[in-house]
Amino acid sequence: MSNDSDAIVVKNPWGKLRQHTSARIALGRSGTSLPTGPHLEFQLAHARARNAVHHELNTVALSDALRARGFDVITAHSAAESRPVYLQRPDKGRRLDAPSRSALEIRPADTEPADVVFVIGDGLSALAIEENAVAFLDAVMPSLKADHWRVGPVVVVSQARVAVGDEVAEVLGAKIVVVLIGERPGLSSPDSMGIYMTLGPRSGMTDESRNCISNVRVEGLRYDLAAHKLLYLMTEAKKRGLSGVLLKDEAEDLSSNAVTTGQNFLLSAD
């Protein structure tokens, strides 16, 4: 038998689609199994996903980067005292610990309530936050300033679930909360960040009250597109007095994202 691996690997006829996606498709086969290459790639992807879940957020570096951009930064912690507890007790990640809540309560009140407060949480992938949160804020802030949104402090919460943002914003008296949080890692996306927007945040709210923008990362939804969608949702939430399942994302696509070739990649020549 030839030593050339091409001689024993059965190619998948849909292989050309792999240039359009990072999804695990058209991997071919060797006998009844995956070829060695794709099998090793799967193991590496799985290891990266596990590492993303257990990675601790570098709150110092993140806070320094935010302060360098002029943000008022507050660091806080959820009621989950450690990563193992956070993973086993989702309910503890949804609320602040007592010292963090007290620190927010004694903070001097702003002259006017903030229109929006950004809460940054590690979630299930601190890696996603370290790679995407600051870059996304750089993309969205010019539009918020141009539209005269009053932006409150940025609150960085360790061991955070999405719902902890409701408590933070309630204590600070913000009208809208936007939570940037690491999403559950996929086998091709250990660095995906989610954005959750809620109008009138308060403790005890559930997911139907939130709007979600998912897969924000370099290889996913671009920062400028995510910023465009968020600004639309915030503007419509403020105008209509609602958010969540009653508010649909009908933001027009940015012209730079339009497909201009007019060619169907399924019909392209080999």
Query: Over the stretch 133-188, which tens digit does the pLDDT of each residue have?
Result: 999 999 999 999 999 999 999 999 999 999 999 999 999 999 999 999 999 887 77
Instruction: State which CATH number among 3.40.50.1370, 3.40.50.720, 1.10.20.10, 3.40.50.11240 fits the domain covering 54-249.
Output: 3.40.50.11240
Nearest-5° angle of CA 31, CA 35, CA 6? 85
Distances (CA, A) of 103 to 77, 100, 115: 11, 5, 21
Residue for token pair 């709007």: 211
With beta carbons less than 8 A apart as the criterion, state whether 42 and 56 touch: no
For the chain, the helix, strand and coil percentages under 3-state DSSP, each to the nearest 5: 45, 20, 40
- Using the predicted structure, report yes or no on whether residue 233 has a pLDDT greater than 50: yes
Token output for 67: 């302060």
Residue for token pair 């360790």: 158
Confidence grade of residue 5 (pLDDT, cut at 50, 70, 90): low
- How crowded is the C-beta side of 151, counted as CA atoms within 13 Å? 21
Mean pLDDT of the chain: 88
Average pLDDT of 119-137? 96
pTM above the 0.75 mark? Answer: yes
Confidence grade of residue 45 (pLDDT, cut at 50, 70, 90): confident
Residue 267: what pLDDT?
58
Token output for 27: 């991997």
Each domain of the chain, given as residue ranges in start order, spans 54-249
Residue for token pair 């870059």: 135
For the chain, the farthest-separated pair of C-alpha atoms sits apart, in whole angstroms, at 79
Radius of gyration of the chain (CA): 22
